[in-house]
Amino acid sequence: PTVGVVRETNDGERRVALVPKVVTTLIGKGLEVIVEPGAGLGALIPDELYKEAGATIGDPWSADLVVKVAPPSDAEIAKLKSGSTLIGFLAPRNADNKIAALKAAGVQALAVEAIPRISRAQVMDALSSQANVAGYKAVVVAASESTRYFPMLTTAAGTVKPATVLVLGVGVAGLQALATAKRLGGRTTGYDVRPEVADQVRSVGAQWLDLGIDAAGEGGYARELTDDERAQQQQALENAIKGFDVVITTALVPGRPAPRLVTAAAVEGMKPGSVVVDLAGETGGNCELTEPGQTVVKHGVTICSPLNLPATMPEHASELYSKNLQAVIELMLDDNGALAPDFGDEILAAACVTREEASA
Ligand code: NAD
Provide the pLDDT confidence category of residue 219 given band limits of 50, 70 and 90: confident
Instruction: State the distance from the centre of ligand 1 to the C-alpha of 118, rounded, in angstroms.
Output: 14
Pocket perturbation via mutation, ligand 1, pick of 89, 112, 117 by most ligand atoms within 8 A of CB: 117
Q: What is the pLDDT of residues 305-347, one digit of tens each?
A: 999 999 999 999 999 999 999 999 999 999 999 999 999 999 9
Task: Report pLDDT for 357.
Answer: 59
| Residue partners of 229: CB distance under 8 A and separation at least 6 | 213, 215
Catalytic hit among 15, 50, 84, 128: 128
Q: Which residue's CA is the nearest one to ligand 1's atom 34?
A: 171
Ligand 1 atom with minimal separation from the 220 CA: 32
Q: Please name every residue paired with 131 in a beta bridge, in sequence order, or none if there are none.
A: none
Cα-to-centroid distance, 174 and ligand 1 (Å): 9
197 CA to middle of ligand 1, Å? 9
What average pLDDT does range 110-128 have in this prediction? 97
> In the annotation, is 117 catalytic?
yes
Question: Which pLDDT does position 303 carry in this prediction?
Answer: 98
Instruction: Name the H helices within the chain.
Output: 20-28, 47-52, 74-79, 99-104, 126-145, 172-183, 197-203, 227-241, 264-269, 314-332, 346-351, 356-359
| pLDDT mean over 238-264 | 96
The answer, yes or no, to whether residue 359 has pLDDT greater than 70, is: no
In whole angstroms, give the CA distance from residue 359 to residue 299: 46
* Candidate list 59, 73, 120, 122, residue with the active-site label: 122
Model pLDDT for residues 82-110, shown as the tens digit of each residue: 999 999 999 999 989 999 999 999 999 99
Helix (H) or strand (E) holding 155: strand 153-155
Long-range Cβ contact pairs of 73-81 (< 8 A, separation 24 or more): 73/9, 74/98, 74/101, 76/6, 76/9, 77/101, 77/102, 77/105, 77/107, 78/105, 80/105, 80/107
Of 47, 62, 117, 230, catalytic? 117
What is the value of ipTM here, to two decimals? 0.95
Mean model confidence pLDDT for the chain: 96
Tell me, yes or no, if 321 is annotated catalytic: no
Query: How far does the centroid of ligand 1 lie from the alpha carbon of residue 105, in Å?
Result: 34
What per-residue confidence (pLDDT) applies to 84?
97
CA–CA distance, 325 with 22 (Å, rounded to integer): 9
Query: 158 by DSSP, 3-state: which?
Result: strand
Q: Is the pLDDT of residue 360 over 50?
A: no
* pTM for this predicted structure: 0.96
Has residue 203 got a pLDDT over 50? yes
* Among 253, 260, 279, 328, residue to substitute to test ligand 1 (most atoms within 8 Å of Cβ): 253
Among left, alpha and beta (phi > 0; psi -120 to 50; other), residue 59 is beta
Distance 267 CA to ligand 1 centre (A): 24
Q: Is 334 a catalytic residue?
A: no
Ligand 1 — pocket residues by CB below 6 A? Answer: 117, 119, 122, 125, 127-128, 131, 168-174, 192-194, 220-222, 225, 250-254, 259, 261
The mean-pLDDT minimum among 111-120, 138-147, 252-261, 348-357 falls in 348-357
> In angstroms, rounded to a whole number, what is the distance separating the alpha carbons of residues 35 and 57?
5
Cβ 71 vs Cβ 80: under 8 Å: no
With a cut of 60, say whether residue 240 has pLDDT above it: yes
74-87 pLDDT, tens digit per residue, is 999 999 999 999 99
Catalytic residue among 64, 207, 221, 232: 221
Q: Pick the catalytic residue: 14, 15, 84, 125? A: 125
Distance 169 CA to ligand 1 centre (A): 7
pLDDT at 220: 86
